Amino acid sequence: MREIQFREALREAMSEEMRRDGSIFLMGEEVAEYNGAYKVSQGMLDEFGPDRVIDTPIAELGFAGIGTGAAMNGLRPIIEFMTFNFSLVAIDQIINSAAKILSMSGGQYNCPIVFRGPTGNAGQLGAQHSQNFENWFANTPGLKVVVPSNPYDAKGLLKTSIRDNDPVIFMESELMYGDKGEVPTEEYLIPIGVADVKRAGTDVTIVSFGKIMKVALAASQELEKEGISAEVVDLRTVRPIDYATVVESVKKTNRLVIVEEAWPLSSISTELTYHVQKHAFDYLDAPIHRINSMDVPLPYAPTLIQAILPNVERTVKAVKAVMYKA
User: Is residue 6 within 8 Å of residue 150, measured between CB atoms?
Assistant: yes
Which H or E element spans position 145? Answer: strand 144-146
From first CA to last CA, the distance across the chain in angstroms is 44
Pick the closest to residue 268 from 243, 232, 300, 231 (CA basis): 243
Q: What residues are labeled active site? A: 60, 129
| DSSP codes, 211-249 | GGHHHHHHHHHHHHHTT--EEEEE--EEES--HHHHHHH
Question: Is 181 strand, coil or helix?
Answer: strand
Q: Which residues contact 173 (CB under 8 A, 6 or more apart)?
A: 118, 119, 120, 122, 210, 211
CA nearest neighbour of 155 among 13, 55, 58, 256 = 13
Whether the ω angle into residue 118 lies within 30 degrees of 0, i.e. cis, is no
